[in-house]
A = this chain, B = another copy of it.
Amino acid sequence: MASRTTSKARQVVAGARPETRQAENFRQIRREHAHEIAEDYVEAIADLSATLGEARVVDLARRLGVTHVTVNRTLARLREAGHVNTKPYRAIFLTESGRKLAEECKRRHQTVVAFLRSLDISEKVAEKDAEGIEHHVSQETLAAFVRHLAAAAAGIRSSR
């Protein structure tokens, strides 16, 4: 029978804390995933409202690459979360909290895209990667991106 290291021996060798911290990291990322859809939806609703005057279910479905059924069900949850107001067969409107969230997400999205662009990443890839990365960027990392952008801008100014 394969001999195996016991729990106790392992704890003595490695210590318990690092494992706990890593577990906490994974938990936090799962929480971020839960928020991710809400963030992309409110951002899309704000954008469609600004561009087309109003956001409709079909528009969201096209934009997000899902069917109108999925949009409907997600909107129901966003309504319960207090981010949107919907009435049957009517356009979708953001609540105050939805607007605020959309505002934040848009700024963060733009920052991430600009940061990637500053590393000479092509526009298409920057847009695509940002769409996923944005949801996992902490305040500290976002601030570092902004610093980097400011430094790059200063570099260009001084070298022209």
Contacts and interface: CB of A to CB of B under 8 A. Distances in A.
Interface of A: 2, 4-5, 7, 10, 13-14, 19-29, 32-33, 40, 51-54, 56, 58-59, 62-66, 90-91, 116, 119-122, 124-129, 131-133, 135-138, 140-141, 144-145, 147-148
B116 A129 contact: no
A14 B132 contact: no
Contact of A138 (B32, B40, B125): B125
A65 B24 CA distance: 7
The 3 closest A-B pairs by CB, nearest first: A132-B136, A23-B65, A119-B144
A23 B128 contact: no
A131 B4 contact: no
A65 B19 CA distance: 9
24 contacts: A2-B90, A4-B53, A7-B58, A13-B52, A19-B63, A20-B62, A22-B65, A24-B65, A25-B127, A25-B128, A26-B63, A26-B66, A29-B128, A29-B131, A32-B132, A119-B141, A119-B145, A119-B147, A120-B147, A125-B141, A126-B141, A129-B138, A129-B141, A131-B136
Contacts of A53: 4-5
